[in-house]
Amino acid sequence: MALKIWLNDKLVDEADAKISVFDHGVLYGDGVFEGIRVYSGRIFELKAHIKRLYESAMVIRLDIPMNKDKLTNAVEKTVEANGVIDGYIRLVVTRGVGTLGLNPFICENSIVFIIADNIQLYPEELYEKGMKVISATTVRNHPLALPPQVKSLNYLNNILAKIEALDNNVPEAIMYNHEGFVAEATGDNVFIIKNGVIYTPPISAGSLGGITRGVVIKLAKGENLEVVEKNLTRFDLYTCDEFFLTGTAAEVIGIVDIDGRVIGDGKPGRYTRLLRKKFYKYAHGKK
């Protein structure tokens, strides 16, 4: 069954969901997006995702051609039209049609499109046994070049690090900033545990303010676990007791090896397993 795609102000058939080759989202990666999960028919943290989208757009001076309520309704209609019960939403706003020049103000009308479909997850085996990662040589974009809180369509920095991971036969790579501190993985936020304390890099280190990251921090504090945001080095990753990533697709996934160094006993640790369990219940609306 063909998907129904939301394009600007209405649902259209997948075959008719087209944008111009002169759209600055295509030409320059000029736009913003959100990846959102659907669990048991419920759109996960939609309000937070919409808020972040508008903030990202504000920073790059991109006008979204509808208010938050209308955009929220468009997301809900797209999910309903495609019968998505457990899946993924990609919400995108591009700068719109312009010229071959860089000037963004020539683009008169930004474009909104929404896709709701199934999602390719990591295999269940990785959650049970844990995942291996490497340290990328690709340095995270300098925060003064592009604020890490902006979830922009220009993902080339992350893609280059992802290529490094795949070249090394692992699914993910850890990216470091220009000062050598941990920023994030190519698509996920980083957490480690040392002596019962959870540590995660601050946003200022070059990481996205992940929605899943925020939920996991809240769940951890609900279990009376101490969560500290601080700059982390490669040494911290190599010597931690537990290591996990969080993200829209990844949810909570344990890391058991980085650059050939085994983490803990080589299996996802007890706090990682606890937080994954708590996140699953929270996402599916269970107590």
Strand partners, 257: 132, 262
> What single-letter DSSP state applies at residue 248?
T
Q: Which of 210, 195, 197 is nearest to 252 (CA)?
A: 210
Choose among 277, 273, 245, 246: nearest CA to 133. Answer: 245
Q: Which two tokens stand for residue 209?
A: 């303010």
Active site residue 47: no
Name residue 166's amino acid. Answer: L
Q: For the beta carbon of residue 74, count every other beta carbon within 10 angstroms.
A: 21
Element (H, E) at 70: helix 68-81
Classify the phi-psi angles of 154: left when phi > 0, otherwise alpha if psi is within -120 to 50, otherwise beta.
beta
SS3 content of the chain, % helix, strand, coil (to 5): 30, 30, 40
Residues in the chain: 287
Alpha carbon 219 to chain centroid distance?
A: 18
Strand order across the beta sheet in which 4-7 lies: 10-13, 4-7, 111-117, 87-94, 31-39, 42-43
Active-site option among 151, 278, 281, 287: 151
Other CB atoms within 10 A of residue 284 CB:
12
Catalytic residue numbers read 151
